[in-house]
Amino acid sequence: MIYRRSSALFAEAQRYIPGGVNSPVRAFKAVGGNPVFVKEAKGAYLYDEDGNRLIDYIASWGPLILGHAYAPVIEAVIEKAKKGTSFGMPTEIETRLARLAVSMVPNIDKIRFVNSGTEACMSAVRLARGFTGRDKIIKFAGCYHGHSDSFLIQAGSGAVTFGSPNSPGVTQGTAKDTLLATYNNLESVKALAAANKGEIAAIIIEPVAGNMGCIIPEENFIKGLRELCDQENILLIFDEVMTGFRLAKGGAQEVLGINADIVTFGKVIGGGLPVGAFAAREEIMGHLAPDGPVYQAGTLSGNPLAMSAGLAMLTELNNRPEIFRSLADKTQYLGQGMAKVLTDNHIPFQMNRFGSMISIHFTEEPVVDFESSAKGNNAVFKKYFHGMLDQGIYLPPSAFESYFLNDALSYDDLDETIAALSNIAKDLH
């Protein structure tokens, strides 16, 4: 495929925008080449500025679970925009979306809307600290909770050491309150809890990870975290920015059968517009301003356009729960087809799949955490990414991202994707 206009647009963007993009992964640094500039999208397809049609497997990194330009969502936003775009005052639609979300998700009584997943996770940690009176948190290497300072921490030299900043601008003072554990390794968490007895406010985790590829929690890992939190009076925060309203109506809590103390949302809840949220039971949410002392605010929180998109999206999912099964079936079909191609061509790989999330890692070892994910052959991944792109398939431009399927994908689209992989497989050695 030819991307002359995309290349020209990228060159122009770099004159005015750092790196030419407003979020780093879009710059194709991990895979090389120039990013594709999108002109429009509909259903399962992207149409770029050069007129190419691409089958989309990122769905705007998750929120477009029903496909691009889904009519009920678009119509809701248009009708709401005619009445004004922002007021900085309460509106009825905020309550309608809140009531629906609370009814769909187990173990939450109240929800606060914000503008992004980053803001939701940052606010959830602040609330946990305010509720417990403790300062430290545990996060997991490879789990991404947004670019708030508390989360941009890399692992220290051992299980009981403090993390250190992995971005300039994050202070050592912030880093000392963030402890790093290993995903799927309960003992690493227990060691941190024992070494910091009575000091840990919360453990925050992607219950099904999506930022080191799709990583599935091993049996009893999340259950073990729940038990540890109960024993140590630590709050368990599920970052369901990716999994919320995607794995099931009630997200990972429903699928895994384990309740968190605080849950964060994003992606799907906004129907493609910038929305995040955090939610918990009454006892915890009562500490949030204006009812309690933990302050959080936002001029555009509860924006009527975003609320209308979210309400249309969640209403559709609530009324059609079979979508989740359909998406999981399509993901299984795609995964089995791609796995057969790779196996038949003797290409070492690992495939992780959960619901409508899936990722391929070019390694012989099982991928269960960030360290094993990082062992994937990035040179092969680059060939794979660009080869699929040339075949009209748009995948995440990073080996550390999950694919997100959308309901508009047909089995013909999946067959086309499998055939595309078959066409390039010989070049992946």
Residues designated catalytic: 144, 239, 267
Q: For residue 162, what are the β-bridge partners? A: 179
Phi, psi of 360 (to 5 degrees): -115, 130
**Of 89, 303, 276, 277, nearest to 285 (Cα)?**
277
Helix, strand, or coil (residue 60): coil
Identity of residue 178? T
Phi, psi of 424 (to 5 degrees): -105, -5
- Alpha-helical (H) ranges within 136-244 are 172-175, 186-195, 221-232
Structure tokens at 103: 């009814």
Contact 31, 382 (CB under 8 A): yes
Tally of CA atoms within 13 A in the half-sphere of 316 that contains its CB: 23
Contact 178, 204 (CB under 8 A): no
Rg (CA), the chain: 21
| Cβ neighbours of 69 (radius 10 Å) | 14
- Using CA atoms, how far residue 99 sits from 58, 268, 303, 404, in Å, is 29, 16, 16, 27
| Cβ neighbours of 339 (radius 10 Å) | 17
Rounded CA separation 270/246 (Å): 12
**Of 266, 261, 191, 272, nearest to 233 (Cα)?**
261
Q: What's the full length of the chain, in residues?
A: 429
Tally of CA atoms within 13 A in the half-sphere of 317 that contains its CB: 35
